[in-house]
């Protein structure tokens, strides 16, 4: 690992916490630490931005409609269940 | 693995409780209302877990049959939706043995470390800074769905519950019977895995 710019051990430590950072699950000290670091470290800034975008994209994953046939079949199956369900 | 203890909790508010109490009081004809509320969500959850449409239908059906059978045991100590997903997740896990799609392997953090920090681009790539709506296309959405399918199941379960279904860390932990820390570790690895897949997609443009 090159030492010319700065010690990247800290990068690796922060790398583990980037999701918690995005999810607001870190305490204030840890947040400040990351915010300070990414101002000075472009690779970590890039990691964080690409991770954030990945989460955004994931949240857009599309949903399909339930097939009507299946919905009907499900209704029938459940209607034919015994009406006094066994306890436990 | 121990389920998080949640004793002496404040009473939970849940829009489903009234309906469940009615069903448990004998109004079985209202069970379809409960199904209606969740079949769409459960179907998509199951599709993401099983991939195969027929397997997803089986999973949804088994889940609702179990809900019908065990609704009497529901204790109103958690939101109904969380309980429902607990049933659904365990149905999916049981089904896994028959699935041809789920590669079982551990994802380690090392495989996602940038090879060397000097190799990391020193600029945020376009795809990570463009407005989301400009970036989204059907092709990209397909790509994301595809990438989610390639995640090993235990990671997929966590990212689907957290980032797609919108459950909190604590709720996900409860649904899957994991510790909060475990949920966080799996989520981070799952996201890094997807990030790699997406990065590849954009770099091949
Ligand atoms: Zn850094």
Write out the DSSP string of B112-137. GS-S-TTTS-SS--HHHHS-HHHH--
Gap between the Cα atoms of B34 and A45, Å rounded: 45
Interface test with A, best of B25, B43, B111 (most A CBs within 10 A): B43
- Domains with residue ranges and CATH for chain B: 11-98 (1.10.1740.10), 109-203 (1.10.10.10)
pLDDT at A4 over 70: no
In this structure, is residue A88 part of a structural domain?
no
> Is the distance from CB of B169 to CB of B183 less than 8 angstroms?
yes
ipTM score of the complex? Answer: 0.87
Gap between the Cα atoms of B129 and B147, Å rounded: 21
Which residues of chain B from 36 to 55 reach within 8 Å of chain A, CB to CB? 39-40, 43-44, 47-48, 53
pLDDT band per the 50, 70, 90 thresholds, residue A88: very low
In this structure, is residue A16 part of a structural domain?
yes
Interface contact B128, partner A, CB < 8 A: yes
Residue span of the structural domain in which A48 resides: 3-80
What are the start-end ranges of the H helices in chain B?
17-24, 31-50, 53-70, 80-95, 126-129, 132-135, 138-149, 153-159, 169-176, 180-203
- Is A78 within 8 Å of B60 when comparing Cβ atoms? no
**pLDDT tens readout for residues B147-174:** 999 999 999 999 999 999 999 999 999 9
In this structure, is residue A87 part of a structural domain?
no
pLDDT of residue A3: 42
Q: Into how many domains does chain A fold?
A: 1
**Residue B79 gets which letter from DSSP?**
-
Residues 6+ apart with CB under 8 A from B199: A50, B125
pLDDT of residue B1: 46
Using CA coordinates, name the residue in chain A closest to B130: A53
Average pLDDT over residues A18-26: 97
In this structure, is residue A86 part of a structural domain?
no
pLDDT band per the 50, 70, 90 thresholds, residue A62: confident
pLDDT of residue A1: 42
For chain B (205 residues), the mean pLDDT of every run of 10, in chain order, is 53 92 94 96 94 93 95 94 95 72 72 67 83 88 90 94 97 97 97 91 69
Ion ligand 1 nearby residues (CB, 5 A): A 11, 41, 44
**pLDDT tens readout for residues A69-85:** 999 999 999 998 887 64
CA B27 and chain centroid, separation: 31
pLDDT of residue A58: 92
In this structure, is residue A58 part of a structural domain?
yes
């Amino acid at each position: 690992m090159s030492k010319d710019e700065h010690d990247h051990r800290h990068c690796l430590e922060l790398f583990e916490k980037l999701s918690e950072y995005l999810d607001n699950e870190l305490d204030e000290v840890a947040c400040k630490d990351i915010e300070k670091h990414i101002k000075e470290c472009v690779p970590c800034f890039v990691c964080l931005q690409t991770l954030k975008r990945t989460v955004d994209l994931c949240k857009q994953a599309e949903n399909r409609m339930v097939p009507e046939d299946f919905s009907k079949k499900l209704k029938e199956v459940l209607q034919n269940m015994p009406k006094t369900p066994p306890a436990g | 693995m121990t389920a998080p203890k949640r004793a002496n909790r404040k009473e939970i508010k849940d829009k489903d409780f009234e309906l469940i109490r009615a069903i448990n009081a004998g109004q079985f004809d209202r069970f379809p209302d409960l199904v209606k509320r969740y079949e769409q969500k459960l179907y998509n959850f199951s599709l993401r877990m099983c991939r195969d449409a027929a397997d997803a239908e089986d999973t949804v059906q088994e889940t609702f049959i179990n809900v019908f059978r065990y609704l009497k045991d529901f204790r109103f100590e958690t939101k109904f939706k969380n309980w429902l997903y607990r049933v659904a997740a365990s149905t999916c896990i049981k089904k896994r043995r028959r699935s041809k799609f789920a590669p079982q392997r551990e994802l380690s953090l090392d495989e996602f470390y940038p090879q060397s920090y000097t190799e990391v681009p020193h600029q945020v790539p376009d795809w990570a800074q463009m407005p989301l709506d400009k970036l989204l296309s059907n092709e990209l959405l397909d790509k994301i769905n595809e990438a989610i399918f390639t995640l090993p199941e235990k990671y997929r379960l966590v990212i689907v519950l957290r980032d797609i279904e919108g459950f909190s860390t604590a709720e996900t932990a409860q649904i899957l019977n994991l510790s909060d820390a475990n949920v966080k570790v799996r989520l981070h690895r799952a996201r890094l895995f997807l990030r790699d897949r997406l990065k590849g997609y954009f770099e091949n443009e």
